[in-house]
Structure 1
């Protein structure tokens, strides 16, 4: 049997190296920065993808949308305020192709509180589809590019954010239709600061050319409202001019739109009422022949008709009296009193035409006519104004065009209480840091308790890796040394103790054998036992070993074999601890982290996916760390166990071979061949 074939078993070294190379590649890929191939501008160090989802998996908008301003809410759960400039002037928004900058403007940016409201112009959002935009930040040299006027289309005639305090609302559109009158600010509104209406004080919207509405003209009016109570015919928006008018309001919780034209008034039909105290999106879209009222993005009611021409001022939270002109009726002329010596002129009573006999009577010439009171002249009739709306209003927009239903739905969803249906944020990406991409977000989300568990797992990982390296090298050296020693042992003839005479000197191969060959150590045990038993034998004679002596030497060899096996298995328990204990420690860290995350959410009251996801993801890092410890340890344990088994088998075979050779050589007494040759010479 070939020595190399018999004693060179074990795993294929090429396969093992390939496995380790694959593991190393996966490890490096996991820790490399996650960045896209393109980067809009290298001066910005951070960016994140914002997904606008109008598909069925998101907002589910099936109608045409078109160009729409999208509200991007930034908070500490989705944005790193510490990495941006204090005023947010380094914010940039780029389209999904990562090439085209988008127009935007900042309504609010508070780095201290970690809150920001940014309006981004989406040039063309398609119904039922997804679109991506990139938010870039992290450039301390950047200057502000916020441009409110460019954020909205040219047909947008009025946009009030109501973010001012103590000053009239400023128009964010290009037309500068600023309000007349400051009004009362409403803190903590739906979107930043709103306007509080008390039903008495109204806010005037000026009459400008850009706000004029032509006869049968198109119009889109949107706003967020929060009624304080149920009111009868409460006016939110009123614009009247003579007998023409447009009124939008609430009637016992039911939104309505009312159109007056040429003395005729039409109001939308009543629908389901809304309860006071909650925010609702209200919109009116007028096209020639149809006026549609929307509530929370859905069609609520409609009127067959058109909006009349209007050029006058408009009111928020108030109404003006409705004036209807009456037909003219000239008053009768009373007879002038007669002068002295002159007869009074005859006076005809109005009742003459009715056949009154006295109506045509002529008074005596010397008697002055008694003046009759003239009846009052006919005047225009005046209807009382409706009461003003009591509640809060926010984000008023007026567009001189009819926007589609999908546009209204997109506004209602993106600006509402649950914008995540339309807008989602991806983790940050960095240009030049290994702590970037998804891994960087996870690292930053790990809590203190998670780091404690990860630290313990790191110690376990280092210990297991040290065992892997040391044990793998030890097995490799022993295999090579045994392979070099075995041919020398097999070359022995009858004197099995001949190799004991090898001194400390020798070539490198012999030194390696003496240091690493386990077979040599077993051989020395057996050879020493033989030397003890041959000490009383006559010179020139080989001792005879009976069965008991051979069994005794075998026992000594097997004892040495047990010690060698113990050396092979030394420290392997560290790998077993890493395999079984690593995942459980990681699970412990994850459970604690999730508990802390939910406790923090319960205390803050902010229940949304952006608040939950970072904490849960950071907690799961402990489980990942546990698996990262256990998986390499498991692979190494199996590999090393196979090597230990092979070395053990080799030593067992050697013991049997040594005992067999010993039994053949010392089973009967005979002359020593070596001494016989010496005597012959």
Structure 2
């Protein structure tokens, strides 16, 4: 069942329910026909962050569950990200865009992010004539002095994405095509990356510094360096993250798990140094950094070889707040609770209300269930309308017939032989259930007169006439009851069919969440809301059918009662007519002699 068909069938609900409307930021540029909402949720229902976070680079993951790659350019050049005001484009760049496999990763610079809020961004796409919108250098703020994605191929040196150009002088030993984000650098105990010293990397004594990186240790034994520059070493000691500042050492209390990705952070603010694991502080010590100079080594150092993988290494010449490190860990990790992309696209001038959004999330099985309920509803409404029209015609025709019937008094004859009854009135009487009963009774009486003359009817004859008229009553009741079974099916079956669709939809939603590993309310709520559409469809099918059935049943019962009373009245009068029209007993005896 097509979603357009469903939208037309249920459109009245969307129009009549103001609660379905949601705030619309306005369309940024009419050259872009599609957009999707990107929600950054730092409230307790999402990332549960607090305090001011500031300008933050957040990862947005696209896949076939939240993005239609066929509506965008093959290289993603038409992508644009607009702030919640609907007017301000945000700097971003694409690390990976694979339309063939329906997967993409974008880095978006989000200004003024705060804890405890739900920030709505807009991802625009679909402009086939758009130039490339990525702006790598502007994605990072001026305090970011180096950032490495390790997305290079063909043995090229690892490139710094900031405007500082702090590129490595060599390539990574090996590449993992499917790191925690996209490509990752793989180290095998030798061949660390060397970043030459540059003016932008100069760090005087006491200067603030923030280092963040994703790490996956394939081997936990021994001491391994992830970052080394002069007296500063950040690494793993038997799997436990540590930072060595000159002779001062801070170390996390728990080791990382081999083969699992973890987000590490090191922050020096001039007074204290802190170590973070997955955005949570794991160790701290007072003191400031000494002057750092000379080249930087990533993925190992002399006497501290590293066996594992690194991804998304960044350096900043400022002390980043703890909330920013937690935001990065949540947005970039496999268990993303911070950033969610709407599962359906909004078309320009298509509205974008909550109802349309939920309808767009309906899965195929739920769409089939909703479509089935709507088909049953259409059939039920057709039965109700048809039956109401039939009963109204029967009631009007009965009135016309009864007027003529009362005028005949005791001299009952077929309506065809009544003076003054024209063809139009005769046709109306033919549509009256009472008229058909009457004509059947008259025909039965005529048959007996042809065979027995004017003699009074025996009890058996009267019962035979009654049986013939009762047979017509049964036929009339069957006409009145015909197709009402569709209403009972809609009343009793509609809610159960809708409930089945809801259960299947919820099951598919939780299964998809389990497969994607994206456990957050933004991933679960749209699927459950869409699954509940099946229950709504079932109730929408049953409720009108219930009202219609009760209304029809009351009117059909009234017609049936009227027919039963009329049969008794008709048979009695016909028997009286036959008795009054027979010869007297003495005259009959003389005639017999």
Match of 2:277 among 264, 277, 295: 295
Q: Distance in 1 between matches of 2:576 and 2:305?
A: 120
Q: Distance in 2 between matches of 1:257 and 1:466?
A: 76
TM-fit CA distance, 1:105: 0.7
2:384 maps to 1:490: no
TM-fit CA distance, 1:123: 0.6
> Is the alpha carbon distance of 1:170 and 1:627 closer, same or farther for their aligned partners in structure 2, counting shifts above 3 Å?
same
Instruction: Give matches, 1:652-663, under 5 Å.
Output: 652-659=564-571, 661-662=573-574
Q: Deviations over 1:632-661 (max 9, x none)?
A: 544433333223212212222323443455
> Is the alpha carbon distance of 1:120 and 1:630 closer, same or farther for their aligned partners in structure 2, counting shifts above 3 Å?
same
2:477 maps to 1:565: yes
Larger C-alpha radius of gyration, 1 or 2? 1
Name 1:257's counterpart in structure 2. Answer: 243
Name 1:481's counterpart in structure 2. Answer: 397
- Check whether the contact 2:358–2:530 (CA below 8 A) recurs between aligned residues: no
Name 1:446's counterpart in structure 2. Answer: 364
Q: Distance in 1 between matches of 2:90 and 2:221?
A: 42
Name 1:332's counterpart in structure 2. Answer: none
> Is the alpha carbon distance of 1:104 and 1:300 closer, same or farther for their aligned partners in structure 2, counting shifts above 3 Å?
same
2:300 maps to 1:314: no
2:307 maps to 1:390: yes
Name 1:179's counterpart in structure 2. Answer: 168
Name 2:340's counterpart in structure 1. Answer: 423
Match of 2:40 among 52, 61, 66: 52
Name 2:443's counterpart in structure 1. Answer: 528
Name 1:233's counterpart in structure 2. Answer: 223
Q: Which runs of 5+ in 2 are unaligned?
A: 1-8, 584-593
Q: Deviations over 1:65-124 (max 9, x none)?
A: 222111011111221111111011111212223232222110110000111110011112
> Is the alpha carbon distance of 1:294 and 1:592 closer, same or farther for their aligned partners in structure 2, counting shifts above 3 Å?
closer
TM-fit CA distance, 1:512: 2.2
- Check whether the contact 2:327–2:338 (CA below 8 A) recurs between aligned residues: no
- Check whether the contact 1:442–1:621 (CA below 8 A) recurs between aligned residues: no
- Check whether the contact 1:257–1:293 (CA below 8 A) recurs between aligned residues: yes
TM-fit CA distance, 1:464: 4.6
Match of 1:642 among 539, 554, 557: 554
Name 2:322's counterpart in structure 1. Answer: 405
Name 1:373's counterpart in structure 2. Answer: none
> Is the alpha carbon distance of 1:281 and 1:457 closer, same or farther for their aligned partners in structure 2, counting shifts above 3 Å?
closer
Instruction: Give matches, 1:595-614, under 5 Å.
Output: 606-608=516-518
Q: Structure 1 residues 652-661 or 101-110, which shifts more? A: 652-661
Name 2:386's counterpart in structure 1. Answer: 470
Question: What secondary structure is seen at the aligned counterpart in 2 of 1:402?
Answer: coil
Question: What secondary structure is seen at the aligned counterpart in 1 of 2:70?
Answer: helix
> Is the alpha carbon distance of 1:656 and 1:431 closer, same or farther for their aligned partners in structure 2, counting shifts above 3 Å?
farther
Q: Distance in 2 between matches of 1:607 and 1:235?
A: 30
Q: Distance in 2 between matches of 1:296 and 1:23?
A: 46
Q: Distance in 1 between matches of 2:216 and 2:51?
A: 27
Number of positions where the alignment pairs a residue of Structure 1 with one of Structure 2: 566
> Is the alpha carbon distance of 1:153 and 1:43 closer, same or farther for their aligned partners in structure 2, counting shifts above 3 Å?
same
2:64 maps to 1:76: yes
Name 2:263's counterpart in structure 1. Answer: 281
- Check whether the contact 1:205–1:314 (CA below 8 A) recurs between aligned residues: yes
Question: What secondary structure is seen at the aligned counterpart in 1 of 2:344?
Answer: strand
Q: Structure 1 residues 412-421 or 283-292, which shifts more? A: 412-421
Name 2:4's counterpart in structure 1. Answer: none
> Is the alpha carbon distance of 1:475 and 1:585 closer, same or farther for their aligned partners in structure 2, counting shifts above 3 Å?
same
TM-fit CA distance, 1:39: 2.5
Q: TM-score, normalised by structure 2?
A: 0.83
Question: What secondary structure is seen at the aligned counterpart in 2 of 1:419?
Answer: coil
- Check whether the contact 1:497–1:531 (CA below 8 A) recurs between aligned residues: no
Q: Structure 1 residues 610-619 or 648-657, which shifts more? A: 610-619
Q: Distance in 2 between matches of 1:252 and 1:659?
A: 106
TM-fit CA distance, 1:64: 3.3
Q: Which runs of 5+ in 1 are unaligned?
A: 1-21, 320-384, 672-681
2:84 maps to 1:169: no
> Is the alpha carbon distance of 1:479 and 1:316 closer, same or farther for their aligned partners in structure 2, counting shifts above 3 Å?
same
> Is the alpha carbon distance of 1:246 and 1:138 closer, same or farther for their aligned partners in structure 2, counting shifts above 3 Å?
same
TM-fit CA distance, 1:524: 1.4
- Check whether the contact 1:50–1:134 (CA below 8 A) recurs between aligned residues: yes
Q: Deviations over 1:444-481 (max 9, x none)?
A: x316xx78877877776665555444333221211111
Name 1:14's counterpart in structure 2. Answer: none
TM-fit CA distance, 1:145: 1.1
Q: Deviations over 1:381-421 (max 9, x none)?
A: xxxx5323222111111111111110111011111121135
